[in-house]
Amino acid sequence: MTRPVIGIIGNHHLLNDEYPAHAGGAMNSCAVAQVAECLPVIVPADPSVVTVEDLLDTCDGFLLTGGRPNVHPNEYGEAETPAHGAFDRNRDAITLPLIRACVERGQPFLGVCRGFQEVNVAMGGSLWPEIRDLPGRDNHRMPPNGTIEEKFAMRHVVSFVEGGPFHRLMGAQKVMTNSLHGQGIKAAGDRVVIDGTAPDGTPEAIYIDGAPGFTLSVQWHPEWNAAADPVSRPLFSAFGQAVRDWQAHKTGTARLRA
């Protein structure tokens, strides 16, 4: 059987500050190929070139990546302000309906950073525009200076609900993670279960209650050092297994129809 395909949601990028590109971080592809053991395919998140139906039929699972632009606040009923930062409406148009379709079908996805926030918005939740501006909250943004290793260094503990899916998967109720985000969950969406939090109460791990497929999503970046990190490896390994299960189910269903 061929390797199952994981569609890695790409981001709009300018090469040399002028040439438009659909881009994906190399660490995402490496985590998918080397830890999830699936075939990584970068998806142009643009409704002018792909449709949600195309993606559901072509890919077996999806990695909802991080990205600098934020989900537009119109998607959760709020007005745009300077604090909301930059946006990518094309990505919103692809990922939000894609998430809802995956939840309904049981098709697996793993949400990361912006992807984590997309999952919440897709299910009817809302976001704070800037976590560090809230009373009692910490600055969760990427350190402005330093090497790439320093930017992705472990920053804080995440505590999981006892007996929840993350606790069971990690074999630990507390883990250390990096932190490179400005926004965060304000109100949880329908069926969104907050299963892990930072010390300041910021939601860091969620899943969709009652969903038939893999829906784990995290606010940190597990793709960094995924093969060696004791938190990232089980997350991507479980995601890969869920995608293989979906591929087997899809193949079996196709044979029954033949």
List per-residue pLDDT tens for the chain, 258 residues long: 689 999 999 998 888 888 888 889 999 999 999 999 999 999 999 999 999 999 999 999 999 999 889 999 999 999 998 888 889 999 999 999 999 999 999 999 999 999 999 999 999 999 999 999 999 999 999 888 889 999 999 999 999 999 999 999 999 999 999 999 989 999 999 999 999 999 999 999 999 999 999 999 999 999 999 999 999 999 999 999 999 999 998 887 666 665
Using CA of residue 71, residue 74, residue 79, residue 80, what is the dihedral sign?
positive
In the annotation, is 221 catalytic? Answer: yes
Enumerate the domain spans of the chain: 5-257
Burial group, residue 16, by CB count within 10 angstroms (0-12, 13-18, 19+): exposed
Structure tokens at 122: 């897709």
Tell me what pLDDT residue 17 has: 86
Structure tokens at 146: 């330093």
Burial group, residue 142, by CB count within 10 angstroms (0-12, 13-18, 19+): middle
Active-site residue (options: 84, 140, 181, 221): 221
Active-site residue (options: 59, 84, 113, 167): 113
Angle made by CA atoms 222, 224, 228, in degrees to the nearest 5: 90
In the annotation, is 223 catalytic? Answer: yes
E strand or H helix at 255, and its extent? helix 232-257
In the annotation, is 59 catalytic? Answer: no
Side chain identity at residue 98, one-letter code: L
What CATH number labels 5-257?
A: 3.40.50.880
